Structure formats: structure tokens, C-alpha cells
């Protein structure tokens, strides 16, 4: 009896093949979209980390350079634009605002900033 049922089957229909191809194609497109989002997020994370390191580096330079180094300015490195402003708050206190901006893959501008107070002698 089992042999007779197996012999009567003709295989899969064209409609079943088309449905399977459509489902497979949609699944692959969704995976591709997820991969692109992951790459974009990875780039954003990398640039944000580099920008934060640039902020911290400039703040350490200004702290370690003495009173002569405490002046406003800007520079560009690694695709980042870094600006800093030093404001005198008192005879021995300076406010330092450091800002880093960079474009992402889509050319949208992003900014990180940091404010610190430095005492001078």
C-alpha cells in the first residue's frame, strides 16, 4: 500500500516553487537590511568613541599645558573638527568648553561636547 501512494505522487507544483522562492527572497532582503543597519550602527559607535577620546585628549592637553596653553582654538584630525573655548571665570579659574563634530555615512552632522573647570596658580 505504501509503495502505491509513493508512485502516485508527481512532485511539487510550480505554484509551490514560486511561493518558496518569494519567501526565500523576502528573507534574504530582510537579512540584507539588518546587515546594513548593523554596519551603520558600527560606524556611528566607532566615530562616537573616537570623538569622546578627542575631547578627553584636548582637555588633558589644556590641563597639563599651564596657563599659557589655556587659550581658545580649533583643529581637525581623523575626520573630526575639534574646537575649544577658554573663559576666565575668576583670577584662578577657567571654564573650558570642548566640542567635537563629525559627519556620518549619510553626511549628517553629529556633535559631542564637554565642559570642565580648571584652576590655575
Split at pLDDT 50, 70, 90, the class of 84 is very high
Rounded to the nearest 10°, the torsion over CA 98, 69, 119, 49 is 30
* Cα-only R_g, the chain: 30
Average pLDDT over residues 3-30: 81
pLDDT score of 32 more than 80: yes
Distance, CA of 63 to CA of 11 (rounded, Å): 78
Helices and strands of the chain, counted as H and E runs: 2, 4
Lowest mean per-residue pLDDT among 23-37, 42-56, 58-72, 82-96? 58-72
Average pLDDT over residues 66-87: 85
Amino acid at each position: 500500500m505504501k509503495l502505491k501512494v509513493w508512485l502516485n505522487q508527481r512532485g511539487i507544483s510550480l505554484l509551490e516553487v514560486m511561493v518558496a522562492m518569494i519567501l526565500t527572497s523576502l528573507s534574504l532582503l530582510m537579512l540584507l537590511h539588518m546587515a546594513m543597519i548593523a554596519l551603520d550602527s558600527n560606524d556611528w559607535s566607532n566615530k562616537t568613541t573616537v570623538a569622546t577620546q578627542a575631547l578627553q585628549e584636548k582637555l588633558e592637553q589644556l590641563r597639563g599645558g599651564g596657563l599659557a596653553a589655556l587659550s581658545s582654538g580649533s583643529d581637525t584630525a581623523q575626520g573630526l573638527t575639534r574646537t575649544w573655548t577658554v573663559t576666565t571665570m575668576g583670577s584662578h579659574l577657567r571654564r573650558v568648553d570642548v566640542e567635537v563634530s563629525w559627519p556620518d555615512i549619510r553626511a549628517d552632522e553629529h556633535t559631542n561636547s564637554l565642559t570642565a573647570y580648571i584652576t590655575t596658580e
